[in-house]
Amino acid sequence: MFKKVNYLICTLTSCFIGLSQAHACTSMVLAGNDDGRVYGRTMEFGIPLKSAILKTPRGYAFQGVGIDGASGSGKNWVAKYATVGTNAFGLPLYVDGMNEAGLVGGLLNAPNTAQYQTPTQEQSSNSIAPQQMLLYALTNFATVQEVKEALPKMFVNSAPLKEWGGVAKARMTLHDSQGKSLVVEYLDGKLVMTDNTIGTMTNDPAFSWHLQNIGNYVNLSGTDKAPLTVKGQKFSAASSGNGMHGLPGSFLSPDRFIRVSQFVLNTPAATTAIQESRAWHIMNNFDIPYGAIHLDSSSGYGGGVNSYEFTEWVIVANLKSKSYSVRSFENPGIQKITFSDWDLNGKSLHSIALLK
C-alpha cells in the first residue's frame, strides 16, 4: 500500500534506465463488431522492471515535476478517474494502464527521437516530466479528443533525472472506447499528435516513418494466393500461408510494426469477447524469449551494461468490459483486474504483485 505522495516520481529514473536499454515494446488495438475494443501490449526492458499492478482511486493528489526536476514545481493535479495499470520499481506511476472511462494506453521507448519541450521558469508550473505523461492522461481524461485538446495547453519538460543522468525518452499511445486512437510524440522539442488509423505502435523511428513504411508491404494478405500458371503448368506454394510470405520476422521495431499491423488488419470481425482471446494470441507473436536479444555494451544499446532484453509482461485490456489483464514472464497465469472489485473512491494507491 502506498501513502499519499508529495514527491512525484522523480526517482522514476531507476525505472526508466530501461528506456536507454530496451527497444522492443509492441502494442495494438482490435475492434469488436459490438462497438467494443481490445488493447494489447508487450513490455521489454534490458533490466528487471519489478513491475506490479497499481490501482489509483479518484481524488488522489499528484505533484508534477518541473523543469528543475523537483516534485511540486510542475503542474499539480487531482485524479478525476480511477486508473489501473502496471508500474515499475514500486513507483507511483504508469508505464501502461486503463482508466474507468475506457481510455487505455502505454509509454513505449523512443530513445532516438523523443526530444521534449523547454518551458521557461514561469511556465514550469504548467509542465510535467516525461515519465508522468501516461499517469497524467489516464487520471485526467476520458477520451482521445480530451487529450488532444489538453496537451497543447501545457508542457512536457526536459527535466533530467539525476539517477539516470538524462531524460526519460518515450512516446505515448492511447485508445478510447469511442473508437479513437492517438500517438503522442515530442519531436525536436515540439508536440506531435497523430491519429492512429490502424492502432498499432512499436518504437523508433518516428510514427510517420512507420506509416510510410506500411506501403512497402501492400502485397501481404491473410488470404492465400492462387497457384501461378505458366503455359498450362501450375506452380503451387509448398503449403498454406503464402499470402504472408515476406512478412518481416526480426525483433527490430520496424519489423514488429509491420507484423502487428498485418495481424490487426487481417483479423476477422468478431465480438469483443472473442477479440480479447485473439489479442492474446497476437501478442504471443511478440513474446521475446530470454537470450534472443543480448544488449552488449559495445553495441551502444546496453546502457554500458551487458544485459538481456525479453518480454517481462504482456497485457490485454477490454475497453468494453473495463478489464485489465496481465501475464508475467515468470508465470503464464492471467491476472484480471476490473473496476468493480475495488474501491474507486479510496484514499490511497494500492499495489498487487505480479504472479511469479
**3-class DSSP state of 182:** strand
Kindly calculate the radius of gyration of the chain based on its CA atoms and give it in whole angstroms: 20
Task: Annotate 259-284 with b (16+ C-beta within 10 A) or e (fewer).
Answer: bbbbbbeebeebebebbbebbeebbe
Residues 6+ positions from 139 with CB-CB distance below 8 Å: 56, 60, 62, 77, 79, 80, 81, 83, 99
β-strands 37-45, 335-338 pairing: unpaired
**3-class DSSP state of 172:** strand
- Let me know if residue 250 belongs to a domain: no
Q: End-to-end alpha-carbon separation of the chain, Å?
A: 19
- Let me know if residue 324 belongs to a domain: yes
- Let me know if residue 341 belongs to a domain: yes
- Let me know if residue 282 belongs to a domain: yes
- Let me know if residue 197 belongs to a domain: yes
Backbone dihedral region for residue 250 (phi beyond 0: left; psi -120 to 50: alpha; all else: beta): beta
Residues 6+ positions from 182 with CB-CB distance below 8 Å: 144, 147, 148, 173, 174, 175, 193, 194, 195, 196
CATH number at residue 23: 3.60.60.10
* pTM, to two decimals: 0.91
Q: Is 202 exposed, middle or buried (0-12, 13-18, 19+ CB in 10 A)?
A: buried
β-strands 26-31, 323-328 pairing: unpaired
Residuewise pLDDT in 10s, the chain (356 residues): 443 333 333 333 333 333 344 468 999 999 999 999 999 999 997 777 789 999 999 999 999 999 999 999 999 999 999 999 999 778 788 999 999 999 999 999 999 999 999 999 999 999 999 999 999 999 999 999 999 999 999 999 998 755 345 677 999 999 999 999 999 999 999 999 999 999 999 999 999 999 999 999 999 999 999 999 999 999 999 999 999 999 999 999 999 999 999 999 999 999 999 999 999 999 999 999 988 988 886 665 545 567 888 899 999 999 999 999 999 999 999 999 999 999 999 999 999 999 98
Q: Whole domain around residue 176: which residue ranges?
A: 10-205+272-353
- Name the strand (E) or helix (H) holding 102: none
Q: How many CA atoms lie within 13 A of 262 on its CB side?
A: 25
- Let me know if residue 241 belongs to a domain: no
- Let me know if residue 112 belongs to a domain: yes
- Let me know if residue 245 belongs to a domain: no
Domain count, the chain: 1
